[in-house]
Amino acid sequence: MGNAQGSVVGGTGGAPGEALLPRPSATGGFQLTPPWLISILITLILALGEWRYQILGGWERLGLALGLAIMLEVVLGLAVRGRIPSVQSAYVSGISATLLTKPAAGVLWPVAFVAMLAIASKYALTYRGRHLWNPTNFSICAMLLIAPQSMSILGSDFGNELSTNLLIWCIGLVIVWRSKILHVTLTYLVSFAAFALLRSAITGVDPLIEIAPVTGPMYQLFSFFMVTDPRTTVHTRGGRILVTVLVAALECVIRLGNDFGVGAFEVFQPAPSMYALTIVGPAAMFLDLWRQGRRGQA
C-alpha cells in the first residue's frame, strides 16, 4: 500500500508532516486524514482499557514509552534525515508499546525497550528507503525472544466484554474503511476463521474455542494496525490480500505445531499472529520492492 494512506501502529507515514495534519476540506472545514483516525482509535482503546480494566499498571509506563518513542524519533530524524519528523508515528508506537507489553511486576525496562526498538527499527532495518518490518510488531517479537521471563503481551487482563469490544470493532472497521485498508482487515479475519475451522477439524477442539482469540484486544490491535500497516505492506491490492492469507496460514501452522508439541514452534507460542507477520511480511515487502526496482531499471 502506498505512502498516501499514512501509517498504522509503528508506521512512518509519508514525508514528515505530510498527510499527518488535518487537510482543509472543500467546505472550508478540516478533514481528518487516515493517520489521525488511527491515532484516535488507538487512543480510544487505551482510554477504554484503562477506564474499564486499569490495564496501564501505572501512568509512568505510558509516560516512559511515549517520552522515549518521541525523543528517539526526533533524534534519529535529525541524525539520519536532517530534519525533525512528525511525531504522530512515535505517538502511536508509544501507546502500542504500553498496551501490548505486560512487564513483570515492578519492572519498567521492557516497555522502554519495546518503544525504542520500534522507532530504531524504522531507521535501521530498511531496503530501498522503506522499513521492512512493522516497527511495533518487530520490537515486541524481539523482546519476547530476548527477555521472555520479563514480559508478556496483552491478554485477558483487558477483558472481553461484549459492549466494549463491539464499540472498538465498529469504530475500527469504519476507520480502516475510511483509510482504504478494510480489505486487509477483512481478509485476515476471514482467513483466521477459516484456518480456525481447519485446526478444529484436525485437533478436535471446539471451533468456537479456536475462533475466540480473534475477538480479544490483542487481535483488535493486530487486525486494525499491524497487518494493515501501509508502510510495510506490498503495493498492490491483490498482493496485500495474498500476503495476509499467508500470514494467517503461517499462524495456523504455528498454533498446530504447539498443539502437537513440536519443539521448533514453542518459541512462537506467546504471539503466533505477530511472529507470522514478522516472518512473512518483510519477505513479501523485500520481494515487492526488489521487483519494483527491477522494473524501474528496465
CATH number of the domain that residue 153 is part of: 1.10.3430
**Joined grid coordinates for residue 287:** 520481494
Whole-angstrom CA distances from 250 to 96, 102, 191, 243 are 23, 25, 11, 11
Question: For every one of its 298 residues, what pLDDT tens digit does the chain have, with 9 covering 90 and above?
Answer: 333 333 344 443 333 333 334 444 444 445 677 777 788 888 888 888 787 777 777 788 899 999 999 999 999 999 998 999 888 889 989 998 888 888 887 788 999 999 999 999 999 999 998 889 999 999 999 999 999 889 888 765 555 566 677 888 888 898 889 888 999 999 999 999 999 999 999 999 999 999 988 887 788 889 998 999 888 899 999 999 999 999 999 999 999 999 999 999 999 999 999 999 999 999 999 999 999 988 877 6
The three state secondary structure string of 188-242 is: HHHHHHHHHHHHHHHHCCCHHHHHHHHHCHHHHHHHHHHCCCHHHCCCCHHHHHH
How many domains, in total, are found in the chain?
1
**Joined grid coordinates for residue 286:** 523485500
Q: In this predicted structure, what is the pLDDT of residue 38? A: 80
Alpha carbon distance 55, 101 (integer Å): 10
In angstroms, how far is the first alpha carbon of the chain from the final one? Answer: 22
Neighbours of 212 (CB within 10 A): 13
Residue from 287, 207, 217, 204 nearest 246 by CA? 287
Under the phi-then-psi rule, with left for phi > 0, alpha for psi from -120 to 50, and beta for the rest, what region is 16? beta
* Domain assignment of residue 244, given as a range: 3-297
Q: In this predicted structure, what is the pLDDT of residue 171? A: 85
**Joined grid coordinates for residue 67:** 517520552
